[in-house]
A and B are shown apart, each in its own frame.
Chain A
Amino acid sequence: MLFYYLRLGALSYRRNPVLSTLMVMAVAIGVGSYMVVFTLNYVMGGDPIPQKSSQLYHVQLDSGDPDTESDPPEQLTYLDSMALIDADLPFPRTATSKFFAIVEPDGETRPFSVMGRGSYADFFTMFNVPFLFGSGWDRSADRELQQVVVLSRELNERLFGGVDSVGESVLLDGYNFQVIGVVDDWTPIPKFYDVNNGPFDPSEEVYIPWPQIINLDMQRSGNTNCWKPLDGSGIQAFLNSECIWLQFWVELADRNDRQLYQDYLDNYVREQKQLGRFQRPLNNHLYDVNEWLLLREVLPNETRILSALAAMLLGVCLLNTIGLLLSKFLGKAGEIGVRQALGANKASLFIQHVVEAGFIGLLGGLLGLGVAALGLQGIRILLGDLMVTDWIQLDTTVVTVTIGLAILSTIVAGLYPIWRACRINPSTHLKTQ
């Protein structure tokens, strides 16, 4: 029966090609545009590490200026980060920040600069960083200031032609670092572990044990905020200052651990208060990945404005479809009369027209995929190299949702026209035939 109705739908399409094509186009444009915005929203506002997002917590301590009323600082000071790293607690944790360095390749190639990340050993296991070769370092490397480095896949290709380079050495700012691992493609969107410095920035090209940034005096990079003038000059004054520039993450398996860690943080801050720091009221937070991304409003305003506009665009296209379906179905009053006279009941007429609307929706959805692909490509071109744009593309979820949304919304849009069509009185129309 379904095939018979589909055939009727196809016939009906051919009988009224202009009207039908207009409908397919309206559905395609409406659904396609909506899917473009849907893709942006669901990746940019999505969960970058779904397996672990509820166990990874960003630490926020309110070390801000007591004389102003601002939100707690987004990052940590050096003093606090080191205290939390050294805490005798069993939870995986890492402080992390960016730096940049000059790499001197062997041979004729000119030296070039790379973006780097200093992190602690737990970083790689906490964030499920995939390795192509080797692995991350262990905690002894952090403590013993070993000169080890993890390379990105791209840098490994640039320096070693993509072969297993574990054990080779790399000159960073004139210091010899030994390659201990090579990361496979890894670009979380958003880059949740450092939203302060571009939530859609690419991952860094080298990773080194964080203490080396201070030890070897690397060029620090990334957002640094100081509310209090430094006490003296030089690196030690900076390290002892209230400047915030490190991100701190801890992995806590369950509510108990979370409570334990929260208590630890509160106690730590109370101790610091006695030393004259943390003059604001106690206000320490642990945010899991999704809470943190939401709090930091990682999703750009533009995406939210576009969402509202795309919803209205889809609305207009569906209103259009209702109007056109109404015209089309009422235009076939004669045919409907004949089918009724030949014994078709209301239910089968209803199903026939639902199938016909669904058929138009399916065509609209298929064409809508093209519209969405075109739109996404356009956005990639517009954004250029402003941010990582590899993810701006159709994936299976988007394809499924597009087709489903197109069929469903066309059928919903068709309900009123179908109802009208089923109410047609056969006798009046048979008379004029």
Chain B
Amino acid sequence: MEIGPIFRAMWRNRIGVALIALQIAFTMTVVVNAIYIINERSRLMARPSGLDEANLFYLRSVGFQEGFDEESTIVEDRILLQATPGIIDMTVMNAIPLSGSGSSTGVRVNPDANGPSTYTALYRVDEHAIDTMGLELIAGENFTTAEVRQLGRLDSGSTAPIIITEALAEALFTGGAAEALGNTLYWQVDIPMQIIGVVKQLQAPWPTFASIENSMLIPNNILDGQSLYLVRTEPGQVNTMMLRVEELLADSNPARIIMNVKSLEETRADSYRIDSSMARILLVVIVILVFITSMGVVGLAVFGINRRRRQIGTRRALGATQGQIIRYFLVENLIISGIGVTLGAVLTLGFNIFLVQTFNMPRIEWYYTPLGMLALVLVGLLAVLGPSRGAARIPPAIATRTV
């Protein structure tokens, strides 16, 4: 093997080698951490909300004229929507999952003001909520029509039966859903709320909420002049029904306006807009960096080959095969890449520690670094393959000429 001559030749051009190795190291640092960030964001975006998102939309009905009666309007609207083909169900809610706006509260297992409280999203709903959202009731039962109460604006809390998510049940009771059912939670210190049902999953409205799986359903509606309707349609009809329902409701009662009509899929896209943008920007950065670095490898290889045309010719004249010439440059590249990715592994982990500490992200999985090293070595080899094949075609006769 020609390891000895390769090293000696590299040593003579050590600055050039160091430049490429450093480029590879930085490229690896950026690429590996960028892929890690992309995967991290994708994982967040892929979490299910527990809802039948594809077939849901919502809208806000806001009264503005004297004589607008919110309570009777809701009843009339329900009758109207139930008679509309394509609509499966609707519920009146205080907040929409994934929308980024809603309310949260602390609940306790004991009515002790100093005891620990668990944070949960608070959804005020009616008896149609579970059917409309498409939630899976895993224990207990749904609210009855009689249990749903209409409260005045800024009414303080009062006792009510509640339905909670399995995650909230597990956070509060060691026995999970089974123990939660029939038990009592305390809200606003000492208001008792009996758990009558547990649903499998329902996310809180804020994608960045630490306890995103903790949700609590209360059967009441606050009459404050505006109501939020969540509507479930037959599969595939969301877009047509959004327009239909908006018109239908706007025409049925001129004392209010219909606003914020939006599908849940659109809401999800908006809520994760920053995450998906970040993923795309990083993807572009990765492509650019890999391109720039491979161009650097190509540039330096071409330069090295041009400088050594006569030596290459001489080697060929002395009996080296084309394969041996190609091998020479591949081995040389392998050594440079090896130095680069080794340094890169250290930088990658260092940068990841910075990300973890500064931005409170989980640590990188162990396999990212070796995969990144392998990928960059392969990129380097691919980049150098073209120039080295060119080098192999240098005719042996060149050794006999003076440039």
Q: Is the CB of A323 within 8 A of B26?
A: no
Determine if A219 is an interface residue (Cβ-Cβ < 8 Å): yes
Do A323 and B20 form a contact, CB below 8 Å, given A111-B64, A312-B29, A316-B26?
yes
Q: Is the CB of B30 within 8 A of A230?
A: no
Interface string of B90-118 (1 = CB under 8 A from A): 00000000000000000000000110000
Do A323 and B16 form a contact, CB below 8 Å, given A111-B257, A308-B354?
yes
Chain B's closest residue to A381 (CB) is B277
A29 CA / B113 CA spacing, docked (Å):
59
Q: Is the CB of A383 within 8 A of B65?
A: no
Q: Is the CB of A233 within 8 A of B156?
A: yes
Which of A205-213, A280-288, A297-305 interfaces with chain B?
Answer: A297-305
Q: Is the CB of A22 within 8 A of B295?
A: yes
CB distance from B252 to the nearest CB of A (A): 14
Determine if A237 is an interface residue (Cβ-Cβ < 8 Å): yes
Q: Is the CB of B15 within 8 A of A315?
A: no
Which of B76-84, B236-244, B278-286 interfaces with chain A?
Answer: B278-286
Determine if B326 is an interface residue (Cβ-Cβ < 8 Å): no
A41-63: which residues lie under 8 A (CB-CB) from chain B?
A: none
Q: Which among B30, B300, B307, B354 is the interface contact of A313 at CB below 8 angstroms?
A: B30
Q: Is the CB of A219 within 8 A of B226?
A: yes
Chain A's closest residue to B68 (CB) is A174
Q: Is the CB of B296 within 8 A of A320?
A: yes
Q: Which of B225, B282, B289, B351 has the most CB of A within 10 A?
A: B289
Count of interface residues, chain B, beta-carbon cutoff 8 Å: 63
Q: Which among B20, B64, B189 is the interface contact of A229 at CB below 8 angstroms?
A: B189
Determine if A379 is an interface residue (Cβ-Cβ < 8 Å): yes
Residues on B with C-beta less than 8 A from A238 are: 154
Determine if A327 is an interface residue (Cβ-Cβ < 8 Å): yes
Determine if A432 is an interface residue (Cβ-Cβ < 8 Å): yes
Q: Is the CB of A331 within 8 A of B189?
A: no
Q: Which among A112, A219, A237, A326 is the interface contact of B156 at CB below 8 angstroms?
A: A237
Q: Is the CB of A324 within 8 A of B296?
A: yes
Interface string of B315-359 (1 = CB under 8 A from A): 000000000000000000000000000000000000100110011
Determine if B188 is an interface residue (Cβ-Cβ < 8 Å): yes
CB distance from A105 to the nearest CB of B (A): 12
Interface string of B219-262 (1 = CB under 8 A from A): 00000111000000000000000000000001000000101000
Chain A's closest residue to B158 (CB) is A233
B263-308: which residues lie under 8 A (CB-CB) from chain A?
A: 270, 273-274, 276-278, 280-282, 284-285, 288-289, 292-293, 295-296, 299-300, 302-303, 306-307
Q: Is the CB of A33 within 8 A of B285?
A: yes
A310-368: which residues lie under 8 A (CB-CB) from chain B?
A: 312-313, 315-317, 319-320, 322-324, 326-327, 330-331
Residues on B with C-beta less than 8 A from A383 are: 273-274, 277
Q: Is the CB of A386 within 8 A of B62?
A: no
Determine if A160 is an interface residue (Cβ-Cβ < 8 Å): no
Q: Which among B114, B257, B296, B359 is the interface contact of A323 at CB below 8 angstroms?
A: B296
Q: Is the CB of A174 within 8 A of B65?
A: yes
Interface string of A26-39 (1 = CB under 8 A from B): 10011001000000
Residues on B with C-beta less than 8 A from A102 are: 62, 64, 257
Q: Which of A26, A174, A327, A331 has the most CB of B within 10 A?
A: A327
Chain B's closest residue to A104 (CB) is B64
Chain B's closest residue to A320 (CB) is B296
A309 CA / B289 CA spacing, docked (Å):
11
Q: Is the CB of A309 within 8 A of B274?
A: no
CB distance from A41 to the nearest CB of B (A): 14
Q: Is the CB of A174 within 8 A of B277?
A: no
A255 CA / B188 CA spacing, docked (Å):
43
B9-35: which residues lie under 8 A (CB-CB) from chain A?
A: 15-16, 19-20, 22-23, 26-27, 29-30, 33-34
Q: Is the CB of A113 within 8 A of B257?
A: yes
A235 CA / B65 CA spacing, docked (Å):
20
Contact sample, A vs B, 16 pairs, CB 8 Å cutoff: A102-B62, A229-B188, A235-B153, A309-B34, A309-B285, A316-B27, A316-B293, A319-B19, A319-B22, A319-B26, A320-B19, A320-B295, A323-B19, A331-B303, A382-B281, A432-B403
Which A residues are within 8 Å of any B CB, using their own CB? 19, 22, 25-26, 29-30, 33, 67, 101-102, 104, 110-113, 173-174, 219, 229-230, 232-235, 237-238, 300-302, 304-306, 308-309, 312-313, 315-317, 319-320, 322-324, 326-327, 330-331, 378-379, 382-384, 386, 416, 432
Which B residues are within 8 Å of any A CB, using their own CB? 15-16, 19-20, 22-23, 26-27, 29-30, 33-34, 37, 62, 64-66, 113-114, 152-157, 188-189, 224-226, 250, 257, 259, 270, 273-274, 276-278, 280-282, 284-285, 288-289, 292-293, 295-296, 299-300, 302-303, 306-307, 351, 354-355, 358-359, 402-403
